[in-house]
Amino acid sequence: MSEPARFAPWEDPDAKPLIRFRGVTKRFGTFTAIDGIDLDIFESEFFALLGPSGCGKTTLMRILAGFEDPTEGSILLDGNDLAGAPPNKRSTNMMFQSYALFPHLSVFDNIAFGLRRDRLPAGEVRARTEEMMALVKLQDLTDRRPHQISGGQRQRVALARALAKAPRLLLLDEPLGALDKKLRRETQFELMDIQERTGTTFVIVTHDQEEAMTVATRVAVMDHGRIAQVADPTGIYEAPNSTYVADFIGDVNIMKGRATPADGTVSIEWAEGQPALRCATELRLEKGVTAFIAIRPEKVSISSRRPGNSPNAVAGRVLDIAYLGNVSTYHVEIAGGQVIKAQTANTDRVARQEFTWEENVWLYWSETAGIVLER
Amino acid sequence: MRRFGWFNATSLTLGLAFLYLPVVILVIYSFNASKLVTVWAGFSTKWYGELFRNEAFLDAAWVTLKVAFLSSTLATALGTMAAHVLVRAGRFPGRTLFSGVIYAPLVMPEVITGLSLLLLFIGIGLDRGVLTIVLAHTTFSMCYVSVVVSSRLVTFDRSLEEAALDLGCTPFDAFRLVTLPIIAPAVVSGWLLAFTLSLDDLVIASFTSGPSATTLPIKIFSSVRLGVSPEINALSTILIAIVSIGVIAASLASKRSAIRGQRDRRSAVRVP
């Protein structure tokens, strides 16, 4: 794990975190928005807080920015407790979901706003503002008011304004939520590029898992004010620690059954009269406990004949076919009525759609295709 | 472009006539040579001359303007602050009571407001004069300002203020540099409303004015009881002119400052 090129300070026990949450809890009346969060975020990370609406991710960000105070616990920035520091005394800046551009100021004045509050000399303000405008490619819009530019341009002004003061930590609240899908994709890569060039630590809040996976070095999946899992995008996708995380990120088939451990594998009895499913795992499960297997659709193969030597093979009937161009997803009903999704890549233009509705097929996958989960 | 049909033209004419015909008649008769108000006897400006020799009217006019300016300015400051607290501070103990107390003068009969203020001024031994009228007018016009400003603040995007704080503003700076410029039109119209209310007020002023200071409405009202004189018409015409000039100047000034602001920004960027 010690390749020099890989950026993974969270694996280094000696690394000092830029931000450290310690038992942070936030209650609004009787409602607990944030429930005892411990979390370290490191310098130059692009950290994503991901979760459905109401999971507390925005509250967590607002606590970082200083708009809310935690009810319990503390937050350290560079080892200093942030408690009681108002937003204007923190070296964090925020890019708002609504962008919050000042409508009475030009693009230039919006970006220069924070610099002027620091009472920098006019020349320095101008130089830094122009540098920021070049960074987000807005040089031609100096005099425009926010209402005179497009949504994508407004998004850039908001980013430039938040970056202008060179914050230790940049907070982005659903920064791309208002953009259409195509522009959002492009902007994601620009965001990563800008993050790399400035070396600023970014914390992004999003409910879009694809966005989080694309931009982030690490993703924290949140659920009801708690952090369900923190890992890099591969870890979140391939090694979720719970069915909640597996289900939240991407598409997944989850099969429930009783476990019988063997050496390095587990057999899961999932239905009467059906052969148990075998799955490699490092978990030590008691015999007979309830366990789940989570398998991504692209790891399930589909065949019209019974596969010869696959450890896991299940017979079923095609219910639905979703043709998406690049891939096709087959919805296959198996014993007990559960529907399993199997995805095939359409690698050839002509040879595709081998199966049709109501056809009896076999689904099969390897021992390492799925992951065994306890909850 | 839509056609300006006969229906629209008629509506506009009738509407304007309804609003301004009495005023126009008053202005015309102020240039009447006759002493009888309703009989036209040729053009003359002599009543204006008479008016400017009438010390009592001039004093009253001066007091009225002074009172209107001071009370509307005070009411705008207080009313804007109250609106900001009501809309921004969220829930705090006594919020409902506070908003009720602020808006009560809207529905309170003027006679009661006037009487209670009179009792207060007597109670604390404040001599009735310009100061007491200013205080009284501030009291009742502040709630109008507060209503106008808070209706603007309700639709104001809170994250703008948060962005200002985030970029290094103190709460006061955020209000001064971001909130106030954006809600300025509402604040200005609140001020104009307060100014007009104060110019116009007869009841409260008659309770709180003293022998040392009489406002124009009181003066006009008391002299009209002895019969309408052409002087009053002249005086009213001047008042109308002052108010019109004030409103036009205010709108021109705000337009010009917007244009100048744009030019300043442009030069600030272009000059190396």
| Burial letters A163-200, b for 16+ CB under 10 A, else e | bbbebbbbbbbbbbeebeeeebeebbeebbebbeebeb
HEC secondary structure over B217-272: HHHHHHHHCCCCCHHHHHHHHHHHHHHHHHHHHHHHHHHHHHHHHHHHHHHHHHCC
* Residue A326 CB neighbours (<10 A): 8
Distance CA A61, CA A48 (A): 11
Nearest to B269 among A96, A97, A143 (CB): A143
Across B80-92, average pLDDT: 84
Beta strands across the sheet bearing A201-206: A92-95, A169-173, A201-206, A46-50, A218-223, A226-231
Distance CA B269, CA A244 (A): 52
Report the domain count for chain B: 1
Q: Which residues of chain A have pLDDT under 70?
A: 1-5, 350-353
Contacts with A, B 172-191, CB within 8 Å: 173, 177-178, 181-182
Q: Is residue B62 in a domain?
A: yes
- The length of chain B in residues reads 272
| Nearest chain A CA: its distance from B254 CA (Å) | 13
| Nearest chain B CA: its distance from A101 CA (Å) | 7
Distance CA A331, CA A318 (A): 6
Q: What is the pTM of this model?
A: 0.79
Round the average pLDDT of chain B to a whole number and report it: 84
| Nearest chain B CA: its distance from A356 CA (Å) | 53
Q: Is residue B12 in a domain?
A: no
Task: Tell me the two tokens of residue B78.
Answer: 């207080």
**CATH number of the domain encompassing residue B252:** 1.10.3720.10
A199 close to B (CB below 8 A) = no
- pLDDT for the residue numbered A353: 59
Q: Is residue B96 in a domain?
A: yes
Contacts with B, A 42-71, CB within 8 Å: 65-67
Q: Where are the beta strands (DSSP E) in chain A?
A: 19-28, 31-41, 46-50, 72-77, 80-81, 92-95, 169-173, 201-206, 218-223, 226-231, 253-261, 265-269, 277-280, 290-295, 301-303, 312-323, 327-334, 339-345, 360-365, 371-373
Nearest residue of chain A to residue B179 (CA atoms):
A102
A23 close to B (CB below 8 A) = no
Point out which residues pair with A334 in neighbouring strands.
Answer: A316
Chain centroid to Cα B5, Å, comes to 36
- pLDDT for the residue numbered B268: 46
Please judge whether B157 and A102 are an interchain contact, meaning their C-beta atoms are less than 8 angstroms apart.
no
- pLDDT for the residue numbered B173: 93
Strand, helix or coil for residue B51: helix
Contact A35, A224 (CB under 8 A): yes
A106 close to B (CB below 8 A) = yes
The DSSP-derived string for A52-94 is -TTSSHHHHHHHHHTSS--SEEEEEETTEE-TT--GGGSSEEE
Is the confidence at residue B270, as pLDDT, over 50?
no
pLDDT > 90: percent of chain B: 25
Contact A285, A262 (CB under 8 A): no
Is the confidence at residue B214, as pLDDT, over 70?
yes
Please judge whether A86 and B165 are an interchain contact, meaning their C-beta atoms are less than 8 angstroms apart.
yes
- pLDDT for the residue numbered B54: 85
pLDDT bin (cut points 50, 70, 90) of residue B261 is: low
Distance CA B89, CA A170 (A): 27
Is the confidence at residue B269, as pLDDT, over 50?
no
Q: Please give the biggest Cα pair distance in chain B.
A: 71
For A276-312, the pLDDT digits (tens) are: 888 888 888 888 888 999 999 999 988 888 888 888 8
Distance CA B121, CA B115 (A): 10
Q: Which amino acid is at B38?
A: T
Domains and CATH numbers, chain A: 16-244 (3.40.50.300), 251-304+313-373 (2.40.50.140)
Q: Which amino acid is at A279?
A: C
Please judge whether A93 and B167 are an interchain contact, meaning their C-beta atoms are less than 8 angstroms apart.
yes
For A305-348, the pLDDT digits (tens) are: 888 888 888 888 999 988 888 888 999 999 888 899 999 888 87
Distance CA A139, CA A240 (A): 44
- Residues of chain A in contact with residue B170, where contact means CB-CB under 8 angstroms, are 88
Nearest to A89 by CA among B81, B173, B176, B181: B173
What is the domain range of residue B110? 54-264
Residue A342: C-alpha distances to residues A60, A281, A345 (Å):
37, 22, 10
The DSSP-derived string for A17-36 is PSEEEEEEEEEETTEEEEEE
Is the confidence at residue B266, as pLDDT, over 60?
no
pLDDT bin (cut points 50, 70, 90) of residue B193 is: confident
Q: Is residue B49 in a domain?
A: no
Q: Which residue has the tokens 């995380």?
A: A245
Nearest to B265 among A103, A106, A113 (CB): A106
Q: Is residue B7 in a domain?
A: no
Task: Tell me the two tokens of residue B172.
Answer: 């006061």
Distance CA A177, CA A148 (A): 20
Task: Tell me the two tokens of residue A302.
Answer: 């589909």
Task: Tell me the two tokens of residue A275.
Answer: 């052969």
- pLDDT for the residue numbered B262: 60
Q: Is residue B16 in a domain?
A: no
Across B36-51, average pLDDT: 83
For strand A92-95 and strand A169-173, is the pairing parallel, antiparallel, or unpaired? parallel
Across B205-218, average pLDDT: 86
- pLDDT for the residue numbered A315: 87
Query: What sign for the dihedral angle of Cα B229, B231, B234, B238?
Result: negative
- pLDDT for the residue numbered A49: 94
